[in-house]
Amino acid sequence: MSTGTTWTIAGVRAALAAKKISARELAEEFFAAIERGNPELNAFLTVSTERAYAQADRVDAAVARGEALGPLAGVPIAVKDVISTQGVRSTCGSKILENYVPPYDATAVERLESAGAVILGKTNCDEFAMGSSTENSAYGPVRNPVALDRVPGGSSGGSAAAVAAGLAVAALGTDTGGSIRQPGACCGVTALMPTYGRVSRYGLIAFASSLDKIGTFAGNVSDAAAVLGVMAGHDVNDSTSAAVPVPDYAAEIEKPIKGLRIGVPEDYFGEGLDGDVKSKIEKGIALLEGLGCRRIPLKMPHTDYAIATYYIVATAEASSNLARYDGVRYGLRVPGATLTEMYRRTRERGFGAEVKRRIMLGTYALSAGYYDAYYLRAMKVRSLIARDFSDAFQKVDAIITPTSPTPAFKLGEKTADPLQMYLADIYTVTGSLAGVPGISVPCGRTKAGLPVGLQIFGPHFGEGRVLQIANALEKAGGATI
């Protein structure tokens, strides 16, 4: 299931520079691992061998010429299947885009390749990134490499599983309400969601445009920082990307954390939190205190309203974004006697149950007579949740919480109860609504051997601070607490 070697970005660059391995040989090693491991995991939907080998050959040619190598030279990276890749099938985990091949690359992908990354292929995900377990994919569920009878989390479950199983050094995911951080926690890997606007969304196939963010999975904090450093920055193709300078994250993460104030909100430690998870998070916080951080109790009073708010805002935006899949311009078309019948048949056959559920919820929330009662009210509560964060960051440098209330649950355990599934995002949707950066880092394992994730939130564009604390925790042995 693994490549047999735990490659890191620094390790890949050092091996290439010393000519211990070529980029092509490394790509071959990872494709062989995918061939062995993927039938069981179902983490990859498409592999892009031609594209990967062409890039690997370019890197090898640069090595042969003695040129300076890009920050991600030769590094095998996987990409979630909601991110556009030119010439490589991009399905969003949906039948409606089963044969869609984008004519252009997402900015994030373009920047990775410009830095030398080798794109291995596209990873499985919940359909249109709607789900918390990667069981909503039209192409079958992903299995958690740590425990094959468990979910890998969602919606970026394929990316998390690929990194956890050693089928990629790093992987891109997207986070709308927890879809990077929660699978990171379930699979025991580092999972970073940047500030809204830090990474261009150009080429990201939209779910909820005011919430979607492209982020990364990696085997360690340093690698997550390296990938973010390449992707981050303003993009003229995305009007929501921020013209904020990108710091040197590699330097930021090495800064000492002594004296930093870490806020611990009591609202995240109440009913519903698994005892094993709580115990590990408390140990993680104690470890940070031992490194010189100051623990400060916090109250974030609007946390209880986050799930309801998120599932109104996100579904409303989804119903608008998914209106474009009508069988007219691209994607699946199921003929009908009239235009309306064609629309109905195409959407009926093309969309899965969860996507239909969210489209209906969102359409209802936006409909005449209900807009004020639902969507408008949810947007007001979203502002209050954002204010909870801005108030907290007046008193603390970072906020520490569990990533998920439970470890990875069993496949099929929650599929019949959407509400229980939605509650898996209870600790992640708050940061999504506020637009702040967050990271999930491994924080020990439960008695049953399942990974636990500790979540760190920072202020807007405070990725450096979040990575700095995560790196200190990792180096102090947080993963083995």
Residues 145 and 75 in one domain: yes
- Is 340 a member of any domain? yes
- Quickly tell me which residue has 């993460």 as its tokens: 253
pLDDT of residue 419: 87
Residues 339 and 211 in one domain: no
Residue 117, pLDDT > 60, answer: yes
Asked whether the beta carbons of 410 and 153 are under 8 A apart, the reply is: no
- Is 244 a member of any domain? yes
Q: What average pLDDT is seen over the chain?
A: 97
Residue 443, pLDDT > 80, answer: yes
Residue 3, pLDDT > 50, answer: no
Structure token pair of residue 230: 């390449």
pLDDT of residue 320: 96
Q: Domains in the chain: how many in total?
A: 3
Taking only the tens place, the pLDDT of each residue in 264-273 is 999 999 989 9
Q: Which of 346, 373, 400 is the last residue of a domain?
A: 373
CA angle centred on 19, ends 252 and 73, rounded to 5°? 40
- Is 4 a member of any domain? no
Residues 245 and 282 in one domain: no
Residues 347 and 298 in one domain: no
pLDDT of residue 1: 47
Q: DSSP label at 298?
A: E
- Is 380 a member of any domain? no
265/261 Cα distance (integer angstroms): 13
Residues 295 and 414 in one domain: yes
Q: Is 452 helix (H, G, I), strand (E, B) or coil?
A: strand
Number of alpha helices (DSSP H) and beta strands (DSSP E) in the chain: 16, 11
Q: Which residues contact 95 (CB under 8 A, 6 or more apart)?
A: 138, 332, 349, 350, 351, 352
Residues 140 and 210 in one domain: yes
Structure token pair of residue 318: 């989804």
pLDDT of residue 330: 86
Q: Which residues contact 357 (CB under 8 A, 6 or more apart)?
A: 418
- Is 379 a member of any domain? no
Taking only the tens place, the pLDDT of each residue in 391-406 is 999 999 999 999 999 9
Residues 282 and 182 in one domain: no
| pLDDT class of 68 with cuts at 50, 70, 90 | very high
Q: What pTM did the predictor assign?
A: 0.97
227/119 Cα distance (integer angstroms): 13
- Is 381 a member of any domain? no
- Is 353 a member of any domain? yes
- Is 78 a member of any domain? yes
Taking only the tens place, the pLDDT of each residue in 143-168 is 999 999 999 999 999 999 999 999 99
Asked whether the beta carbons of 345 and 468 are under 8 A apart, the reply is: no
Q: Which residues contact 129 (CB under 8 A, 6 or more apart)?
A: 80, 82, 92, 93, 155, 156, 174, 176, 179, 207, 212
251-274 average pLDDT score: 96
Containing domain of residue 326, as a range? 308-373
Residues 247 and 200 in one domain: yes
Residue 245, pLDDT > 50, answer: yes
Closest alpha carbon to 157 in 76, 227, 49, 81? 81
250/242 Cα distance (integer angstroms): 21
403/401 Cα distance (integer angstroms): 6
- Quickly tell me which residue has 């994250």 as its tokens: 249
Q: Percent of the chain, pLDDT > 90?
A: 97
Looking at the annotation, which residues are catalytic? 80, 155, 179
Asked whether the beta carbons of 126 and 136 are under 8 A apart, the reply is: yes
47/50 Cα distance (integer angstroms): 9
pLDDT of residue 5: 56
Asked whether the beta carbons of 408 and 149 are under 8 A apart, the reply is: no
431-440 average pLDDT score: 98
Asked whether the beta carbons of 189 and 202 are under 8 A apart, the reply is: no
Closest alpha carbon to 343 in 329, 327, 359, 332? 327
273/408 Cα distance (integer angstroms): 13
| pLDDT class of 4 with cuts at 50, 70, 90 | very low
Residue 447, pLDDT > 60, answer: yes
pLDDT of residue 2: 45
pLDDT of residue 408: 98
Residues 129 and 207 in one domain: yes
Q: Which of 232, 252, 272 is the last residue of a domain?
A: 252
453/441 Cα distance (integer angstroms): 5
252/225 Cα distance (integer angstroms): 9
Q: What is the dihedral of CA 172, 175, 179, 185, to 10 degrees?
A: 70
Q: DSSP label at 376?
A: I
Residues 425 and 313 in one domain: no
Task: Find the CATH number of the domain harbouring 195.
Answer: 3.90.1300.10
Residues 316 and 219 in one domain: no
Asked whether the beta carbons of 76 and 27 are under 8 A apart, the reply is: yes
Q: Which of 317, 340, 373 is the last residue of a domain?
A: 373
Taking only the tens place, the pLDDT of each residue in 299-353 is 999 999 999 999 999 999 999 999 999 999 889 999 999 999 999 999 999 999 9
Residues 327 and 347 in one domain: yes
Number of residues in the chain: 481
